[in-house]
Chain A
Amino acid sequence: MITSLDSFINNIISYPISFAKSISASEGGGTYMSCFKSSGNPGIGDVGIPFDNGNDATCSGSTLGAIHVPIGYEYQNLYLIRLNTVSSVASSYSLYDRLVSYTGFSCATTGLQTITNPSVIPSRDSYGTNSGYGTEIWGEIHGVPGATAGRWEVYYTNSEGISNRTGVYFHPANAETSGQMMPFLLQTTDKGVRSVDSFRLLTSSATTGNLGLVILRRIAESSNPTIGIASNLNVFDIGMPLIYSGSCLSLIQFCGATTATQVMGTLNFASG
């Protein structure tokens, strides 16, 4: 437990973890791109398992593509004490913990696509439980859909354990880019997501395309409004958020422009 500046100093882990990602051109300013699905260091991530195969879809620090924490500290809770990013395109970045990840939802059918044996999140919600408080559902485009406007819905169990809740994404009359991410709006009053259970397009967007669904917890955010100017957030800037044991860390780019982007940075941690 860190209780003072001295104990903070004493618990700093002196191994900064670097990352560098090359992100494809986005759909434009105001959209989101997946760094997890991008090449670089760490390499391209394992975006999940098919939703209908019934296997465990939870993610961990050993999931391919996760930004790792220092070796020797994988099995304990850590604090994030510094987040540093520098970007070749004006953008913001959200560091998040990837909790559950499914692939294979078709954008070519309006039928209900039900997950076989839906995985409950690991005990890494905002309070370190598997209830789902503070978690969100994001879509991740794996195959480019069509450009017909429509309403996409996910049905989930919320953090209170109530099932058949509805999350919504309003698909615009514009095809998303591969690697684009989008948040689903949770049903009013919901505080988070325990599991995602099924997915449906109320309007078929096209005859092609597919996406993944990710339950994640956002941890910290940095902003790079100018090319090459690093965002250097210290422990007080980011509020020393907890990184739970086994976290699958990655970044979402909040895009400022269409241009392909290179982002690099470092994370620093403290134990205790």
Chain B
Amino acid sequence: MSLPSLDYIINNNFNYLYQKSASIALTNLLTFYFQAARSCWELAGTSIPVGQSPPDYTGNNNFICDSSTAGAMLSGCDSTLYLNSFKPNKVNNTASSICYLLVDRLWAASGFSLNTTGEQNIPFFGTLPNRDLYGSSSGFGVDIFIRPSVTFGNVNGTINVNYLDAYDNPKTGTFPKGASLISNLTIFPFGIDSSSGIKSITSVKFNSTGTGVGRFDLVIGRTIHMTSEERVTNKSLPINEDVLKTCLPIIYPSSCLFLITSASASSTMGMPISCILGFNS
């Protein structure tokens, strides 16, 4: 169950502004689960700093992200919230429609490489925070995202991620690394073959006839809400989603919220975005 009434939502609403300097700047498209997408995490914002770089996967590091991680929305918030409105707005004039994903960043690690076809084991994965779909650490309803940190080279291959799903079954996720370059401005969801989610990642392997160029981060995140502009436009087209469109998704205490944006067309121009989010506690 969620909140008691419309009156409660109106009486207990608070708004939050999230603004990033240039969210969408795509030069290389690779169509996978959706068009090439852009992580706002790495961008400067007016009130939110550039997101903290993930630690290297080989060390015994703290890979967990929370509201105290630099770059998170609602810095330091430790309350349970519900999203009651979502109003993103691109502020540029490139003809495109933008799809927005509000994501809780649970876990992130860096340093994975295409320079080797060997197994890249994660020795100290740790445990996910209690922020999966149901507020547990099992990983229900979460996805793996790949975020190039050094532009991928022109080598065909498949990046495989070996993971345990939310029921502890070993599974493999696949990312088809095509011959085209993939910009380090992008982020993609992995193709996971599971109806449950991801509890932990055990290793990564680049299956290719030769080694490539490029490095990447892996991010485990839970998509809280997704929406888009309703037509292609070269003007600002704000989205105004109310409670009937957000359906009050739960946001767990200490969530590390950020936006992923996806454009319907390739563009080399930046499109700063401004987003007002409405929450209830």
| Contact residue among B32, B248, B262 (Cβ-Cβ distance under 8 Å from A12) | B248
A5 touches B133 (CB 8 A): no
Surface stretch bound by B, among A108-116, A131-139, A223-231: A223-231
Q: Which partner residue on chain B sits nearest A269 by CB separation? A: B247
Let me know if A235 is at the binding interface, CB within 8 A.
yes
Let me know if B14 is at the binding interface, CB within 8 A.
no
Given contacts A14-B249, A262-B32, contact A9 B3 (CB under 8 A): yes
Residues of B contacting A72 in the complex (Cβ-Cβ under 8 angstroms) = 134
A17 CB to closest chain B CB (Å) equals: 7
B195 touches A66 (CB 8 A): yes
Say which size band chain B's interface belongs to: 35 or more
Let me know if B183 is at the binding interface, CB within 8 A.
no
A71 to B139, CA, bound (A): 13
B191 touches A22 (CB 8 A): yes
Q: Which partner residue on chain B sits nearest A87 by CB separation? A: B34
A80 CB to closest chain B CB (Å) equals: 10
A206 CB to closest chain B CB (Å) equals: 32
B137 CB to closest chain A CB (Å) equals: 15
A229 touches B232 (CB 8 A): yes
A227 touches B35 (CB 8 A): yes
B193 touches A86 (CB 8 A): no
A268 to B241, CA, bound (A): 15
A88 to B141, CA, bound (A): 22
Bitwise, B220-238 to A at CB < 8 A (1) or not (0) is 0001111111111000000
A41 touches B194 (CB 8 A): yes
Bitwise, B230-271 to A at CB < 8 A (1) or not (0) is 111000000001011101111000000000001111000000
A40 to B36, CA, bound (A): 18
B35 touches A228 (CB 8 A): yes
A41 to B226, CA, bound (A): 16
Q: Which partner residue on chain B sits nearest A81 by CB separation? A: B247
Residues of A contacting B232 in the complex (Cβ-Cβ under 8 angstroms) = 226, 229
B245 touches A234 (CB 8 A): yes
A81 to B193, CA, bound (A): 26
Residues of B contacting A268 in the complex (Cβ-Cβ under 8 angstroms) = 247, 249
Residues of A contacting B229 in the complex (Cβ-Cβ under 8 angstroms) = 229
A34-88 at interface with B (beta carbon < 8 Å): 39-44, 64-68, 70-72, 81-82, 84, 86, 88
A98 CB to closest chain B CB (Å) equals: 14
B248 touches A82 (CB 8 A): no
Residues of B contacting A86 in the complex (Cβ-Cβ under 8 angstroms) = 34, 99, 226, 228, 262
| Contact residue among B8, B97, B249 (Cβ-Cβ distance under 8 Å from A15) | B249
Residues of B contacting A68 in the complex (Cβ-Cβ under 8 angstroms) = 195
B158-187 at interface with A (beta carbon < 8 Å): none
Residues of A contacting B33 in the complex (Cβ-Cβ under 8 angstroms) = 20, 22, 40, 88, 262, 264
B178-224 at interface with A (beta carbon < 8 Å): 189, 191-195, 223-224
A264 touches B5 (CB 8 A): no
B229 CB to closest chain A CB (Å) equals: 7
B192 CB to closest chain A CB (Å) equals: 5
Q: Which partner residue on chain A sits nearest B230 by CB separation? A: A229
A27 to B191, CA, bound (A): 24
Interface centre among A44, A81, A266 (most CB of B within 10 A): A266
B228 touches A10 (CB 8 A): no
A145 to B187, CA, bound (A): 39
Let me know if B9 is at the binding interface, CB within 8 A.
yes
Let me know if A18 is at the binding interface, CB within 8 A.
yes
A43 touches B195 (CB 8 A): yes
Let me know if A11 is at the binding interface, CB within 8 A.
yes
Let me know if B140 is at the binding interface, CB within 8 A.
yes
Q: List 11 A-B contacts (CB under 8 A).
A: A6-B5, A14-B247, A16-B224, A39-B191, A41-B193, A41-B195, A86-B262, A226-B264, A227-B264, A228-B265, A229-B264
Given contacts A6-B4, A11-B2, A86-B99, 13 further A-B contacts (CB under 8 A): A9-B4, A9-B6, A12-B247, A16-B223, A16-B247, A20-B143, A20-B191, A39-B191, A43-B193, A66-B195, A228-B99, A228-B265, A264-B34
The 6 A-B residue pairs whose C-beta atoms are closest, nearest first, are A228-B264, A42-B195, A230-B228, A268-B247, A14-B250, A6-B5
